[in-house]
Structures are given as C-alpha cells and as structure tokens.
Amino acid sequence: MPSSIYLWVRFWVLDSCPICQKLLGYEEGDLSLKSIFSNDCKVKNILKRRGFDLTQPYFGYGRVWFDRYMRGSQIRSELALKRFRNPSIWVDLETRRVIRLVQEYGIDYFKDALFIERFEAINVSHPVNQPLAYKYQIRVVPTVMSPYAPYGIFRGLSAEESELEIERLLFTGGARIKPGQGTNIH
C-alpha cells in the first residue's frame, strides 16, 4: 500500500537556546537531540493530544522526528469534524486538498491509503544540518516550517505563547501569533 506525507512540521532549534529548550524539553548541549521531551513542555503536550507516539522517536544526524499514521477514511472523518466545529479558511483549504487527492487517485485508493503526519526537530548547530540552515535562511531560532505558518515559515516563536496558539500554528491554522522577524518573500 503506498503512503505519503500528509502534513510535515519542521522545528529548527539550537542546542544552547533556552527558548528552544523550554518549548521542546531537551537538555542543554544535546547536539543530537536524544533527550527531546525528557522534561515537561508545551510541544510535548500538543503532540500527545494530537495522537503522536512519543515513545518511538526516529533519530538522524542532529534531528529527531515522530510520525503519526492515518488512513484516508480517518482524515475524512477528522476533516468533517473540523468543518462542523469551527468552519474557517484553513479547514476549507484542507478540504480542497483532500478533494484534489480524491479526484486524482479515486475514492477507493484514498480510503485505504496510508498518510503520515510528521513532526521533526532539527538542530541547526549540528555540522550536518548547517548547510540546510543556509538553504532555508534560518537566522533566528526557534523557526517553525508548517503549512499554517505565514509563507510556510515562522521565525522567532516565543516560549510564552499558549499551547492552543502553538497548536494552531503547527497543525490547524488560524494562529494569532506574529513572527518575531519579518520574512522577505519575493
């Protein structure tokens, strides 16, 4: 059965950043992010609420990610609940995305297909990830790359933001958080 990444959230951090440590709960100087979510933090609570299994992380060089697997029928039912509870432009955009997938591949394929929601934390100070920091122009941490962030990139997230606003920024859209640094998108 084929699978595809449905939603991919990247969280760019530094191993010595106190704000990043407060948001993701890792220990200072942890270059490979092995101790992520060892302390209680806001992002850990958000991921638990969204159904991610935090006991099985996947590690790379200076990065860690968590996957949540869903069937197409589960995506459809969650989307219907979102439309019923809180209709917004973000729910409409996600609905159009699902409609395009169904039109392209067919309803039988979509119902049985496996979709992945991925949350990934990337350490910018790791030597392997430094070229990626230049590629994506990461100058301020924590930087969030999410479909719901302004222009797909959100720079300078504060640790004082509420869990609800951070969850909206990462997964559902409609966050009232303003970027700490403007983006120059041409």
Lookup: tokens for 172 = 């559902």
Give the span between the Cα atoms of 122 and 23, in whole angstroms.
13
Distance CA 53, CA 112 (A): 22
Q: Are 120 and 64 in contact (CB under 8 A)?
A: yes
Q: Which residues are CB-contacts of 120 (< 8 A; sequence separation ≥ 6)? A: 8, 9, 10, 11, 63, 64, 65, 66
Q: What is the pLDDT of residues 1-10, one digit of tens each?
A: 456 778 899 9
Q: What is the three-class DSSP state of 152?
A: helix
CA-based nearest residue to 101, from 90, 109, 93, 112? 109
Per-residue model confidence as pLDDT tens digits over 57-105: 999 999 999 999 888 888 888 888 877 877 777 778 788 888 888 888 8
Report how far residue 146's alpha carbon sits from residue 171's, in angstroms, rounded to the nearest whole number.
8
Q: What is the pTM of this model?
A: 0.83
For residue 40, pLDDT beyond 80? yes
